């Protein structure tokens, strides 16, 4: 997770020149400092904040004793599989057993003169704190369902106002049935998280990926397979001579207000094939345009940019991945 420094001096520089690659904002002063939150340790069980220094950075304008190497480290206790950013200084880490909410606390070191005329010098550091742990497993003798997290979706741009709380959506696997059709929406309040369960087993047979909609806090994009799928016989496609090329996952629009599910786009239909032949392997919202969604498929060897403002998403542009054709 890459994020800019939130101190006063860096915030001013980031507003003037938000690009990480630009060094001059027109006034002869450098832009803000950047930090990265990443797993570390022998089994990747620790979360570490490190400073980011680009090759073109002016070494004289940054205090190397403060911004060099690891700045803070926190041991989660389990191997970290995913890190997602919920807010400016709030992150969620996913392990095979649970999720942890981590907050970075800003510390300002009073060294040098940060407002000197020779350039801005940032002396900020961060301390990591595990605010709470989201464990959806039930006790051994309990009759309640038990879940393991398999994916976390966050979108820091959905924080509409200062009084709003950060949220994230956790896609879980039911330990009893093995199905991936249950999501938990978590509201990260100060004392303890508010967790709400959403079950989509009536409409979907399997969900592999989820992505937060950048324009709606209660809407998700999901790569999932419908409960009712056409049966494909062996040799239905003479070119590949197989039963199923992909896993049959298409793009679905999920509304958490009423738990409604709607098919938005299918890679199989785009390739003029039967539903379930091609499958979606990746979903990513565009960082600049909220109505653009990027979708990839290794079975179809293509990447699509979709315009999701319509009920049925429309393809804007397509890229082929010829290097993957050898695997088919």
From residue 293, alpha-carbon distances to 147, 155, 290, 313 in Å are: 29, 14, 8, 9
Rounded CA-CA distance 212/81 in Å is 19
Model pLDDT, residue 150: 95
Model pLDDT, residue 50: 87
1 — pLDDT class (breaks 50, 70, 90): confident
Quick: pLDDT tens for 114-150. 443 334 456 778 889 998 899 999 987 788 889 999 9
Rounded CA-CA distance 301/254 in Å is 26
Give the CA dihedral 220, 224, 229, 233, nearest 10 degrees: 150
What is the separation of C-alpha 302 from the centre of its chain, rounded to a whole number of angstroms? 21
The answer to whether the predicted template modeling score (pTM) of the entire model surpasses 0.95 is no
Among 163-177, 247-261, 311-325, the range of highest mean pLDDT: 247-261
Specify whether the CB–CB gap between 306 and 213 falls below 8 A.
no
Give backbone dihedrals phi and psi of 295, rounded to 5 degrees, phi first: -130, 135
Quick: pLDDT tens for 29-85. 455 778 889 999 999 999 998 888 766 655 544 444 445 555 788 999 999 999 998
Quick: pLDDT tens for 84-121. 988 878 899 999 999 999 988 888 664 444 443 334 45
191 — pLDDT class (breaks 50, 70, 90): confident
317 — pLDDT class (breaks 50, 70, 90): very high
Rounded mean pLDDT of 9-24?
Answer: 52
Specify whether the CB–CB gap between 93 and 52 falls below 8 A.
no
């Amino acid at each position: 997770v890459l994020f800019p420094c939130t101190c006063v001096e860096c915030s001013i520089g980031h507003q003037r020149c938000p690009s990480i690659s630009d060094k001059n904002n027109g006034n002869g002063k450098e832009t803000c400092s950047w930090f990265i939150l990443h797993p570390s340790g022998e089994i990747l069980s620790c979360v570490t904040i490190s400073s980011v220094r680009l090759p073109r950075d002016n070494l004289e304008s940054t205090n190397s004793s403060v911004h060099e190497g690891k700045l803070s480290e926190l041991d989660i206790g389990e191997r970290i599989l995913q890190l997602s950013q919920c807010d400016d200084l709030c992150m969620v880490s996913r392990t095979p057993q649970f999720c942890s909410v981590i907050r970075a606390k800003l510390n300002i070191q009073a060294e040098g003169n940060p407002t000197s005329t020779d350039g801005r010098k940032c002396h900020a550091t961060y301390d990591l704190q595990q605010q709470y742990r989201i464990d959806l497993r039930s006790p051994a003798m309990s009759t309640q369902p038990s879940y393991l997290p398999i994916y976390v979706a966050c979108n820091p741009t959905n924080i509409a106002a200062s009084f709003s709380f950060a949220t994230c959506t956790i896609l879980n696997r039911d330990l009893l049935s093995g199905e991936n059709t249950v999501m938990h929406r978590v509201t990260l309040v100060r004392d303890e998280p508010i967790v709400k369960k959403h079950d989509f087993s009536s409409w979907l047979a399997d969900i592999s990926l989820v992505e937060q909609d950048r324009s709606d806090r209660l809407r998700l994009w999901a790569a999932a397979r419908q409960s009712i799928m056409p049966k494909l016989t062996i040799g239905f496609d003479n070119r590949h001579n197989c039963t199923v090329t992909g896993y049959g996952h298409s793009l679905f629009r999920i509304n958490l207000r009423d738990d409604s599910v709607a098919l938005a786009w299918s890679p199989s239909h785009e390739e003029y094939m039967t539903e379930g032949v091609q499958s979606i392997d990746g979903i990513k919202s565009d960082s600049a345009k909220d109505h653009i969604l990027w979708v990839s498929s290794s079975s179809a060897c293509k990447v699509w940019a979709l315009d999701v403002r319509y009920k049925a998403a429309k393809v804007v542009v397509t890229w082929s991945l010829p290097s993957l054709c050898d695997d088919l």
